[in-house]
Amino acid sequence: MDIGIGLPNAVPGTEGGSLVDWARQAEQAGFSTLGTIGRLVYPSYEELIALTAAAAVTSRIRLTTSVLIAPLYTNTALLAKQAASLDRLSGGRLVLGLGLGGREDDYTASGLTTEGRGRRLEEQLAEMKRIWSGEERGSAGAIGPEPARDGGPELILGGASEASFRRVARLADGWIMGGGSPDMFAQAAAGVDAAWQDAGRPGRPRKLSLAYFALGSDARSQADAYLLHYYAWLGDVAGQIAAGAAVSAETVRSSIASFEAGGCDELIFVPTSSRLDQVELLAEAMA
């Protein structure tokens, strides 16, 4: 199982210099990917912009939106161009993780409704694939640049419903769980595999998950402060999410073992702080 680390793009107060230093250090530490959290109504950096900054100071590590809330990007042709640009600039390292999002205020702030968002996502996926395949759109031809990977970046979709599993099987390369226990992952992953087989897809989908972490002397208070604020809209559930964060080397290793046993292909540890020591502490905890 690959182990990635999240960029602190959604940690309030993160400075641009810290973001790029984090990316450099994560690559040097050997992590498989840099992930990002997608939100609109929050003091966070937009994902494609944050990953472009990371791409400029790295050369190997994958760049994963985990996940970008696609229906908020109403100009699908522009989204396709942005994604292809990042993929090309990074030498094919973009993994485009897309989802529907769970917050009403992100849609309200965009002048949108959550109604029909699943259908809208499927329409976006179809249009982006046409654009990435080189379909002509005007007198100058296709919308470029051409992605580094034939057919466009790797597509990973989120979601925990049967409908989302079927969407993965029809339209994507894999699935990601946005958070939860290893048992929850294993159960959902089985549903994704079943949908994949029902759709007649060869091989198997790549399956990923996120897991929050905080390490160091103030790990518990650090995780609680961030996660209780970030998930305040969920009420008591926020406390459950905070309690599930890995806050010691032992819980990091336990999470890795449990997710790997559940069939996870890549686990991305999402930081609750932008302190640079978190990258080194996570790498040490995995050793």
Instruction: Say how far apart CA 183 and CA 242 lie, in whole Å.
Output: 17
Contact 99, 70 (CB under 8 A): yes
Q: Which two tokens stand for residue 283?
A: 């790498």
Split into its structural domains, the chain has a count of: 1
Q: Which two tokens stand for residue 90?
A: 């990074």
Query: What per-residue confidence (pLDDT) applies to 195?
Result: 98
pTM for this entry: 0.97
Q: What is the CATH number of the domain that holds 139?
A: 3.20.20.30
Helices within 57-176 (DSSP H only): 76-89, 104-109, 117-132, 162-171
**Which residue range is the domain that position 115 belongs to?**
2-286
Residue 65 β-bridge partners: 36, 96
Instruction: Say how far apart CA 147 and CA 283 lie, in whole Å.
Output: 32
* Amino acid at site 72: L
Query: What per-residue confidence (pLDDT) applies to 177?
Result: 98
Query: What per-residue confidence (pLDDT) applies to 105?
Result: 96
Query: What per-residue confidence (pLDDT) applies to 191?
Result: 98
Residue ranges, the chain, pLDDT below 50: none
